[in-house]
Chains A and B, each alone.
Chain A
Amino acid sequence: MPGFSQNKVLTLPSLALISALFLSACATTQDVATRTDGINDPYETQNRKVHAFNKGLDKNLIRPVAQGYGVVPVEIRNTVNNFSDNLSMPGVAVNSLLQGDLKGTGLATLRFVVNTTVGLGGLFDAASEFRIPDHETDFGETLAVWGVGEGAYIELPLFGPSTQRATAGLVVDFFTNPLTYSTIDGDDRIIPPTAAGVAALNDRERFGDSIDAVLYDSADSYAQSRQTYLQNRRFELGGNAGEGVDPYSADPYEDPYAQ
Chain B
Amino acid sequence: MLNNLNRREFFVGTIAASLMLSRPAAALTEAGAKQLVDSVVSEVERVVTSGKSDSAVLRELEKLFVRYADVNIMAQYALGVDGRSASAAQKRAFSDAFTGYIARKYGKQFRDFIGGRVEVQSTRQIKAGYEVKTLAYLQGDGPFDVTFHVSDKSGRDKFFNIYIEGVNLLLTERTEIGAMLDKRGGDINAMIADLKSAG
B158-198 CB mask vs A (1 if < 8 Å, else 0) is 00110101111011100110111011000000000000001
Q: B131 near A: Cβ within 8 Å?
A: yes
Contact assessment for B176 and A218 in the assembled complex, using a CB-CB cutoff below 8 Å: yes
CA distance A209 to B128 in the complex (A): 32
Q: Please name the 6 residue pairs, one residue from A and one from B, whose CB atoms are nearest each other, closest first.
A: A235-B166, A220-B179, A256-B76, A219-B179, A252-B77, A219-B180
Q: Contact check: which of B79, B171, B179 meets A218 at CB < 8 Å? A: B179
Complex interface: chain A residues within 8 A of B112 (CB): 209
Complex interface: chain A residues within 8 A of B199 (CB): 217
Beta-carbon nearest neighbor of A209 in chain B:
B109
Give the contacts of B31-82 with A (CB-CB under 8 A).
Answer: 73-74, 76-77, 79-81
Contact assessment for B84 and A257 in the assembled complex, using a CB-CB cutoff below 8 Å: yes
Complex interface: chain A residues within 8 A of B92 (CB): none
Contact assessment for A247 and B171 in the assembled complex, using a CB-CB cutoff below 8 Å: yes
Q: B140 near A: Cβ within 8 Å?
A: yes
Residue of A210, A227, A234, A251 most packed against chain B (CB within 10 A): A251
A-B contact pairs, 29 of them (CB 8 A): A217-B198, A218-B176, A218-B179, A219-B183, A220-B175, A220-B183, A223-B175, A223-B178, A223-B179, A224-B175, A227-B175, A228-B172, A231-B171, A232-B165, A234-B166, A235-B165, A247-B171, A248-B126, A250-B168, A250-B170, A252-B73, A252-B76, A252-B160, A252-B170, A253-B128, A254-B127, A254-B128, A256-B83, A257-B83
CA distance A231 to B170 in the complex (A): 12
CA distance A254 to B73 in the complex (A): 10
CA distance A234 to B105 in the complex (A): 24
A173-189 CB mask vs B (1 if < 8 Å, else 0) is 00000000000000000
Contact assessment for B131 and A248 in the assembled complex, using a CB-CB cutoff below 8 Å: yes
CA distance A224 to B183 in the complex (A): 14
The minimal Cβ–Cβ distance linking A68 to chain B, given in whole angstroms, is: 20
Q: B9 near A: Cβ within 8 Å?
A: no
Q: B99 near A: Cβ within 8 Å?
A: no
Known: A220-B182, A250-B161, A252-B160. 9 other contacts (CB 8 A): A218-B179, A228-B167, A228-B172, A235-B167, A236-B166, A252-B77, A253-B160, A256-B79, A257-B83
Complex interface: chain A residues within 8 A of B126 (CB): 248, 251
Contact assessment for B179 and A224 in the assembled complex, using a CB-CB cutoff below 8 Å: yes
Contact assessment for A256 and B171 in the assembled complex, using a CB-CB cutoff below 8 Å: no
Complex interface: chain A residues within 8 A of B140 (CB): 74
Q: A18 near B: Cβ within 8 Å?
A: no
Complex interface: chain B residues within 8 A of A252 (CB): 73-74, 76-77, 128, 160-161, 170
Interface size class of B (residues with CB under 8 A): 35 or more
Q: A45 near B: Cβ within 8 Å?
A: no
Q: B151 near A: Cβ within 8 Å?
A: yes
Q: Contact check: which of B84, B141, B166 meets A206 at CB < 8 Å? A: B141
The minimal Cβ–Cβ distance linking A52 to chain B, given in whole angstroms, is: 15
Contact assessment for A247 and B168 in the assembled complex, using a CB-CB cutoff below 8 Å: yes
CA distance A247 to B131 in the complex (A): 12
Q: Contact check: which of A213, A227, A259 meets B105 at CB < 8 Å? A: A213
Q: A258 near B: Cβ within 8 Å?
A: yes
Q: Contact check: which of B74, B105, B128, B172 meets A224 at CB < 8 Å? A: B172
Q: B153 near A: Cβ within 8 Å?
A: yes
Complex interface: chain B residues within 8 A of A253 (CB): 73, 128, 151, 153, 160
CA distance A235 to B167 in the complex (A): 8
Contact assessment for A257 and B179 in the assembled complex, using a CB-CB cutoff below 8 Å: no
Q: A231-B166, A234-B166 are in contact. Are A250 and B180 (CB under 8 A)?
A: no
Complex interface: chain A residues within 8 A of B84 (CB): 257
Contact assessment for A232 and B153 in the assembled complex, using a CB-CB cutoff below 8 Å: no
Q: A228-B167, A231-B166, A251-B127 are in contact. Are A257 and B176 (CB under 8 A)?
A: no
Complex interface: chain A residues within 8 A of B198 (CB): 217, 219
Give the contacts of B113-162 with A (CB-CB under 8 A).
Answer: 126-128, 131, 140-141, 145, 151, 153, 160-161
Contact assessment for A227 and B76 in the assembled complex, using a CB-CB cutoff below 8 Å: no
Beta-carbon nearest neighbor of B191 in chain A:
A219
Beta-carbon nearest neighbor of B81 in chain A:
A259
Complex interface: chain B residues within 8 A of A228 (CB): 167, 172
